[in-house]
Structure 1
Amino acid sequence: MDELFAHSPNADSVWHPLADHLRGTAGRAAGFAEEFGAAEIARYLAMVHDVGKGSCLWQEGLKTASRTGGRVGIDHKRAGARLASEHGLADLAAVVLGHHGGLPNKEKFRAELRLSRGKGRAPVEEAIKRVSAIVPEILPAHPPRWPAWVEGATPLEVDMLVRLVFSCVVDADYLDTSEHFSIGEQSPVTRWTAAELIERFERGRRSYLSKRRGGPSPIDQVRQRVYDEAVTAAVGEQGIYRLSAPTGAAKTLASTAFALRHARAHGLQRVVMAVPFISITDQNAAVLREVLGHSDADPVVLEHHSGVDLDDESKGHDDTERKKKPKTGAPARWRQLASENWDAPFVVTTTVRLFESLFDRRPAAMRRVHRLTKSVIVLDEVQALPDRLLIPILSGLRTLTERFGATVLLTSATQPAFWQLSPFRGVPMREVITDPERLYADLRRVDYEYRSRATTAEMLADELAGKNQALAIVNTTAQAQELHRLVQERRPAGLGPVLHLSTRMVAVHRKKVLKEIIDLIKDQKPTLVVSTQLVEAGVDLDFPLVYRAKAPADSVQQAAGRCNRNGRLARGRVVIFDLEDDTGASRVYGAALAASDAYIGAGLAMPDDSAALAAYYKDRYSLENVEGLGEVIERSRRRLDFPDVAARFNMVEEFTTSVLVPYGPEEKQAEIMDAVAQIRRCPRAAGGLLRDLRPYMATLTKRTADQGLDRGLAEPVIGDLILWDADAYDADRGITLEDDEMYVF
């Protein structure tokens, strides 16, 4: 070979010249990093990221891999990392070293640099010499300029800078490589920015509100006030905002109005809306697609979470890549491309996807995080963020707003006391609602009733069975299944269905039941529902009567949001009961329950008392040692120990596992079993199949999953995923086991 190449031939038998790849990647990376003043360093890191491919050994390896269909398998990262280190980029050289396998820790980084100057010196220097002859820019006369603020930056700000520059470089690398292998393929793109969507949103909102089933609500005037205040606040300066409003105040539409108008006021590119649960993501995305006029021909809203996409984040792209064009249509192609790097004006995702991407170290997971710069980040139902990870989450949000041009909007009916925690101390609190106390008073639609004596499941079932419409929320899935069974047995014939919701049901089953519940309520038909906490955030239910097992104040208030939601009654009724022998509450809530009992309950304040809530959160954070738990991760961030941060930052605790169930009609069950057979035959190709199967998965504790395996009700598929026997799946309650102490929500 007289010429140096970066990748093997594409479908048109055209090789990818190394010089073109380095310059193409550099141009893209610089464009991304321009948003936060780091264009020069991103350009240089991208320019040198594949310099190691210039060695004779690597070029010969590429020829062999192209002929055999294998991988090159020869290191090509040390040369670029060494160049970056020698040209003033210090710790940012880790970006080059990690662009395939993930950001390293300092020990790994320094060891690789020593190799590049020691026994691995020859191929490194050979590569630099050969590549500099055709790309002289890799040997600049002056070091690339850092952003001006870096000189006084804290270690945590440097950590975030490395993450975002890494995101720019790996995204640019993927895109340039993909362009080579997708020669002649037109990638569908959206032509909109967030700021340009305001007029479409306003038209869509008016149409959406006019078509609501049940007609106008008595509290529509208050909802309009919330909306108007959000519009007014949107012209304020960038920073961290709070939208504090009771459940049922139409926060989704108000927060969208704020985000789009704020984007226009400050020239921001996109809105990223993150919610804690997939059920809310589905709901919000459906509403936003309607009001923003999203269509296959004009894509605007990207819905990205584990239920619609499963990243193959185990490795970076290969040097040989695939040569076949995808067999998907334009809409699916847009969703796939946009989900890889969030190149969409409006992204709806989960907080798990958002923050685990931000604090990950792998290229595929981190490609998208540079899109958070110059964006409005809307965090819905922020009370559901895990306490043990609040310190790094809040710290990261503060840095994104202060250094990287983002604005953050925190929305909740039960706003946590984040400003009592160290990352937010000194950060201005910008309230969207000017008088939250008055708003809560105007939207007080329920009376709370605390019962002093313990209630058995049988007593509660007797009381529920004769009700016309009621919702009962308990703390564990085992309790929900038992109570549902008891109420079903006692419900008089012809009085209406008794429905069940929990994560022991597969997602498509839950979605079907939730739609049935909503339709029954809107048609004013009798219905009883027994559920776990999964209905407490963002789910649009409206019951006249809600029973809630003892729980912390914020959970009780969220449950109350499913009662008299649209204000059609003078007052709804929320009954808080203490379930006899309920050990689940303490297991699920821990210290939060004790902190709540000190301030809120019978003879104390009610759950919607803002002063009592503030005191509760303060004690809760202290009892749970939130600062101490978070500091463990923050120390690793200051040391730039990216692997340790990624290992510790798990939004979903590891005591649960996914369970696949062949749910549905016979043809669907056969389709699921065929996919399982394909996964077992070829585990490496499982990613796409698993993505398609996500709607047919439920969640169990590992202990309960093991019980299913021991009893012959389940069998392993791949990794921790197990397959549950369809005949052992209850049509009403999902996965059931006798004498089971399951306590996942």
Structure 2
Amino acid sequence: MVLLARKDEEGNTQTLYDHLHGAGRLASGFEDEFADISRTAAVLHDVGKVAQQFQTYLLSDDGHRGDVQHARQGAFVVNDFFESKGEIEEIAKEILELAISKHHGGLPDCIDESGNRAFLLGFTESDKSNEKYAYQEIKRGLNGLALDLQSNFRGSAEDIACFLKKIKSLGMSKDSIYFYLGLLVKLIYSRLVDADRTDAACFETRKQYRPNTVDWQNLISRLDKSMRSFDSSSEINRIRHQINEQCCLAGARETGIYRLSIPTGGGKTLASLNFALHHALKTGKHRIIYVIPYLSITTQTAKTFRDVLGLNADSDVLLEHYSTAGMQRSADVADNASSEFEDAGEHQRKLAAERWDNPIIVTTMVEFLETVMSARGTKLRKFHNMADSVIIFDEIQSLPMNTINLFNEIVSFLSKITNSTILLCSATQPLLEKTKRENLLLSEKPDLIAETESYEDKLRRTRIVASTENKSCDELGQIIYQQARKDGNCLAIVNLKKEAREIFQCLERLDVIMSLS
């Protein structure tokens, strides 16, 4: 009997053998590190579909999605067949059990409110003999799937051994080691979820999976051409050029965590992009992820990148992923095209945002933190695509105080464990490494540009004079109006929306009065 994994709306079927091995190839091939344990999770994640009750459900068109449970059985196989020889094997087993049993939905809490290991105790003989799992039937059907369990288990243990050796060499605290283990669970889970869903999508579309590739040298040439067209006659532009050249040379550095401190007006955005492109080319990174704290400058940054790299709005080189991304495009499509085209385009955009497989991604700090700290499969699916990347954090001084330790752990894990380079950008660098836990693992010489103080005076374009008088909104409005009439414009910044509204209403009244006089 041929075991099936799924059936599409037209009645075409995918065999379970093809799905498990296809997902296994994808999961192991996404990144070089942790290939074996990722493959093991993938080839076992759907073995619950061996059960006759699932095969009947699939072919009969009766019942509802989720009626027949098929996820936990793969974890039972790990629990039964993975021989424990010590700490390494136990950690590998627990990671596999977590990822496989919860590959639909999200990762669970492993410890309950009383401190008991609630989830990982759910692999008793009583659990395995529950009729709804049909586990004995599934064990008998494993031979026909050619899963090579012992070889996969050995490779999984070797992956964990390498991981433990690496984190112990970093001299981290016990708390940080536990945090890294939690992130490793999410990394393996991410690869499994992405492999499972990608293989299913390939079956449905009848297309072979091909990862996004990029010619970094071509993008560097485009950026160079754009930079050469900029005016270099002013002193400020000459300074920007010097900073840009230094960042270009810094791209030859090894993978690590670096800082880029450039005074306001020094061209930090393009300088950091130049570093990222040259570093990606030099070190073989897969993508560049640009993380910005404010929505107000996220769209502007994405537009700048498209302009200097010569990318049109439909180019799949750059993905914008934040709450307002794609809104204008969706509106344009709705006005000018059929609903069928709109659905296809929107589906493609959402898929790209879920996977983060594009060469350049512009996103927000909120989206970044939600991804790495989420338990949901839809959010975590893209986590593994942060590996082997250049991740730039702009305006890092705006990082909330209560997230500093969390942030330090995450970016250090991404750099030391997943081979990503982190760049912290700011005009005024916060002392993130000075926490009590000392958990930001900066590179030995972390600053891309040393002694930037000489640029500060030359780049200063504002003079701040503190007022000693309290002003009402109406009084401030009159000052703004007079200054705007004198100079042609005036920028005013206030703390509250209410204050901004009152000042705006004052300006409207003054404008009416002036027009009548």
TM-score, shorter chain, exceeding 0.5? yes
Q: Which amino acid aligns with 1:164?
A: L
Describe the shift of the 1:14–1:257 C-alpha distance in structure 2 as closer, same or farther (beyond 3 A).
same
Q: Which amino acid aligns with 2:7?
A: S
Residue aligning to 1:146: 159
| Greater helix content | 2
Q: What's the C-alpha RMSD, in Å, of the aligned pairs?
A: 2.7
Give, in whole Å, the separation in 2 of the partners of 1:307 and 1:474: 24
Q: Which amino acid aligns with 1:130?
A: G
Match of 1:401 among 411, 415, 419: 415
Offset at 1:414? 2.5
Alignment partner of 1:179 is 2:195: no
Match of 1:373 among 387, 400, 423: 387
Match of 1:110 among 110, 120, 128: 120
State the secondary structure of the residue aligned to 1:471: coil
Residue aligning to 2:399: 385
Residue aligning to 1:351: 365
Instruction: Describe the superposition over 1:525-552 as per-residue Cα deviations: whole angstroms up to 9, x where unpaired.
Output: xxxxxxxxxxxxxxxxxxxxxxxxxxxx
Offset at 1:403? 1.4
Residue aligning to 1:91: 94
- State the TM-score, normalizing by the size of structure 1: 0.59
Contact in 1 for aligned 2:216/2:281 (Cα 8 Å): yes
Alignment partner of 1:101 is 2:115: no
Deviates more, 1:110-119 or 1:389-398: 110-119
Deviates more, 1:408-417 or 1:107-116: 107-116
Give, in whole Å, the separation in 2 of the partners of 1:193 and 1:73: 46
Offset at 1:445? 2.0
Give, in whole Å, the separation in 2 of the partners of 1:306 and 1:62: 37
Alignment partner of 1:128 is 2:144: no
Q: Which amino acid aligns with 1:31?
A: G
Contact in 2 for aligned 1:200/1:291 (Cα 8 Å): yes
Offset at 1:332? 5.9
State the secondary structure of the residue aligned to 1:243: strand
Residue aligning to 1:501: none
Describe the shift of the 1:328–1:459 C-alpha distance in structure 2 as closer, same or farther (beyond 3 A).
closer
Contact in 1 for aligned 2:48/2:74 (Cα 8 Å): yes
Instruction: Describe the superposition over 1:439-486 as per-residue Cα deviations: whole angstroms up to 9, x where unpaired.
Output: 222212222211223222222122112112211111111111112212
Residue aligning to 2:236: 219
State the secondary structure of the residue aligned to 1:408: strand
Alignment partner of 1:201 is 2:230: no
Contact in 2 for aligned 1:99/1:170 (Cα 8 Å): yes
Instruction: Describe the superposition over 1:548-600 as per-residue Cα deviations: whole angstroms up to 9, x where unpaired.
Output: xxxxxxxxxxxxxxxxxxxxxxxxxxxxxxxxxxxxxxxxxxxxxxxxxxxxx
Residue aligning to 2:446: 430
For 1:22-171, what aligned pairs fall within 5 Å after superposition? 22-34=20-32, 37-64=33-60, 67-68=61-62, 70-85=64-79, 86-87=81-82, 88=89, 89-92=92-95, 93-106=97-110, 107-114=117-124, 116-119=127-130, 123-138=134-149, 140=151, 143-144=154-155, 145-152=158-165, 153=167, 154-171=177-194
State the secondary structure of the residue aligned to 1:414: coil
State the secondary structure of the residue aligned to 2:464: strand
Alignment partner of 1:278 is 2:289: no
Contact in 2 for aligned 1:188/1:333 (Cα 8 Å): no
Residue aligning to 1:490: 510
Contact in 1 for aligned 2:252/2:279 (Cα 8 Å): yes
For 1:596-611, what aligned pairs fall within 5 Å after superposition? none
Q: Which amino acid aligns with 1:395?
A: E
Deviates more, 1:336-345 or 1:423-432: 423-432
Alignment partner of 1:481 is 2:501: yes
Offset at 1:297? 7.0
Give aligned pairs, total: 469
State the secondary structure of the residue aligned to 2:374: coil
Q: Which amino acid aligns with 1:126?
A: E
Give, in whole Å, the separation in 2 of the partners of 1:426 and 1:341: 27
Q: Gapped runs of 5+ residues in structure 1?
A: 311-324, 496-745
Describe the shift of the 1:190–1:202 C-alpha distance in structure 2 as closer, same or farther (beyond 3 A).
farther
Residue aligning to 1:4: 3
Q: Which amino acid aligns with 2:458?
A: D
Offset at 1:171? 0.5
Q: Gapped runs of 5+ residues in structure 2?
A: 83-88, 111-116, 168-176, 328-338
Alignment partner of 1:20 is 2:57: no
| Greater strand content | 1
Q: Which amino acid aligns with 1:50?
A: D
Instruction: Describe the superposition over 1:61-119 as per-residue Cα deviations: whole angstroms up to 9, x where unpaired.
Output: 2234xx25841422211111122344242221211122111111224532442354353
Describe the shift of the 1:293–1:112 C-alpha distance in structure 2 as closer, same or farther (beyond 3 A).
farther
Give, in whole Å, the separation in 2 of the partners of 1:156 and 1:54: 36
- State the TM-score, normalizing by the size of structure 2: 0.84
State the secondary structure of the residue aligned to 1:450: coil
Give, in whole Å, the separation in 2 of the partners of 1:409 and 1:69: 51
Contact in 1 for aligned 2:69/2:133 (Cα 8 Å): no
Offset at 1:298? 5.0
State the secondary structure of the residue aligned to 2:312: coil
Contact in 1 for aligned 2:69/2:132 (Cα 8 Å): no
Higher relative contact order (CA 8 A, sep 6+): 2
Q: Which amino acid aligns with 2:19?
A: H
Offset at 1:131? 3.1
State the secondary structure of the residue aligned to 2:266: coil
Q: Which amino acid aligns with 2:3?
A: L
Give, in whole Å, the separation in 2 of the partners of 1:273 and 1:193: 18
State the secondary structure of the residue aligned to 1:446: coil
Offset at 1:120? 5.3
